[in-house]
Amino acid sequence: MKSNQELKSIASQVRRDIIKQVSAAASGHPGGSLGCTDFLTALYFSVMDHDSSFNMKAENEDVFFLSNGHISPVFYSILARSGYFDVKELATFRQINGRLQGHPTTHEGLPGIRIASGSLGQGVSVAIGMALNKRLNGDNKTVFVLTGDGELQEGQIWEAALFAAHNKVDNLILTVDWNGQQIDGANDDVIALGDLEAKWKAFGWHVMHMDGHDYNDLITSLNKAKNMRNGKPICILMKTNMGEGVDFMAGTHKWHGKAPNAEQTENALSQLEETLGDY
């Protein structure tokens, strides 16, 4: 069991990896990646029982699906730092002939990726399919899926919500990256999501709240959700700060899909301690 301090130390390196990947590619999505770093660090380095030797079927292990595929930089760093592939490969992010595509894909055989994502709204359905599969197999492990908050504007999400509640898919934990931002601005200005807690409850889900940057809360909440199994799928509304960890990127949608220039990269890296060695 890793201490919160150890997890924070990993997260600092993951944030460095994110900045370096996006900077080198001169493209990519740093804002949401930085905002979900603590969540994914907690998930992969503490909460999930998973095997980095990678078996596509994920038999008898917890499994995670990334529905908001554009935050691939954090996903790639987390997978590499967990041992799914060599951290040096992070240097190939978005480069031709590489496995680290702009959005995650199974197409290039990158260990740790089980579905392509990027076109939003599809991951919850896929996660339900895996959860049903585990139920059929008598496999008691848990399926996790992450979506953005703006992504909840996709209709397929609510198709999936109805199905999972009706079928009591309670080995499924959906986390919503609730940073309140999307490409064109605040959710509230684009298409307001309204009372998300009431919506998910009305759809028959068990709803929890979590601070996406507080490791005590992350670990406690995720483990609680994992052990709940009360006949309802679980939705965790996770408050995050887009761009968390880099002062000039934090709290704005402006770094959703924009890479820092050389000077900004240097500034960002100066704010993030190198803890595990840069790639």
Partner 1 sequence: MLSNYISTGNSDTRSGYGDAMTILGDTNPDVVALCADLIGSLKIQPFIDAHPERFFQAGISEANMIGMAAGLATGGKIPFPSTFANFATGRVYDQIRQSVAYSYKNVKISASHAGITLGEDGATHQILEDIGMMKMLPGMVVINPCDYNQTKAATLAVAEYYGPVYLRFGRPKWPIFTPAEQKFEIGKAIHMNEGNDVSLIATGHMVWQSLEAARVLQREGINVDLINIHTIKPLDDKAIINSVSKTRCVVTAEEHQRNGGLGDSVAQLLSINNPTPQEYVAVNDSFGESGKPLELLDKYGLGVKDIINAVKKAISRKK
Given the rule CB under 8 A, which residues bind partner 1?
Answer: 56-59, 65, 105-107, 114-119, 121-134, 136-137, 155-156, 159-160, 162-163, 166-167
Tell me how far, at minimum, the Cβ of 167 lies from partner 1, in Å.
8
Tell me how far, at minimum, the Cβ of 136 lies from partner 1, in Å.
7
Nearer to partner 1, 123 or 243 (CB): 123
Nearer to partner 1, 154 or 177 (CB): 154
Tell me how far, at minimum, the Cβ of 205 lies from partner 1, in Å.
15
Tell me how far, at minimum, the Cβ of 114 lies from partner 1, in Å.
5
Nearer to partner 1, 9 or 156 (CB): 156
Nearer to partner 1, 138 or 277 (CB): 138
Nearer to partner 1, 56 or 202 (CB): 56
Tell me how far, at minimum, the Cβ of 130 lies from partner 1, in Å.
4
The string over 27-65, giving b where at least 16 C-beta atoms fall within 10 Å of a residue's C-beta and e elsewhere, is ebbbbbbbbbbbbbbbbbbbbbebeeebeeebeebbbbb
